[in-house]
Amino acid sequence: MSGIPPTANTGALQQVLALRQQVLQQSDALRSLREAGASDATGAIQAQPANGGFADTLRTSLEAVNQSQAKAADITAAYERGEVTDVAQVMLARQESSVAFEATLQVRNRLLSAYQEIMRMGV
């Protein structure tokens, strides 16, 4: 027995099932994007030399931020052309690049502050 009375509107049931399927597809798409982003991040971390200096670490981090912004720009342009129809994918890429840029900006501010404090020290 299905638990649905025979007088229930089957059209509404079909709509609910179709919405459920769309939600599951979007969830799978977001999960694959998250996994792809995680593998990109671990690849960037592994690409750093084991005994590299601060400059190498900073350069690698800036390149990762640049790649994130380029990816967001590409996906946004593809959405504007109508090639990408998943607005969640576009917004996720844009938000990731925004967060990466903000983190980079905060690191820059801290470095500048530390440099200024060092320059004020008396010898």
Q: For each of the chain's 123 residues, which pLDDT tens digit applies?
A: 455 555 556 676 777 777 777 777 777 777 777 777 766 655 555 554 556 788 898 899 999 999 999 999 999 999 999 998 889 999 999 999 999 999 999 999 999 999 999 999 887
Please count the other Cβ atoms lying within 10 Å of the Cβ belonging to residue 20. Answer: 10
Place of tokens 């129809």: 85
The residue type of 78 is: A
Q: Quick check: pTM over 0.75?
A: no
Confidence (pLDDT) at 1 = 47
Confidence (pLDDT) at 4 = 52
Q: 30, 88 in Cβ contact below 8 A? A: yes
Residues shown for the chain:
123
* pLDDT above 70 coverage of the chain, percent: 79
Q: 75, 89 in Cβ contact below 8 A? A: yes
> For 121, phi and psi rounded to 5 degrees?
-65, 140
Report helix, strand or coil for 81. Answer: helix
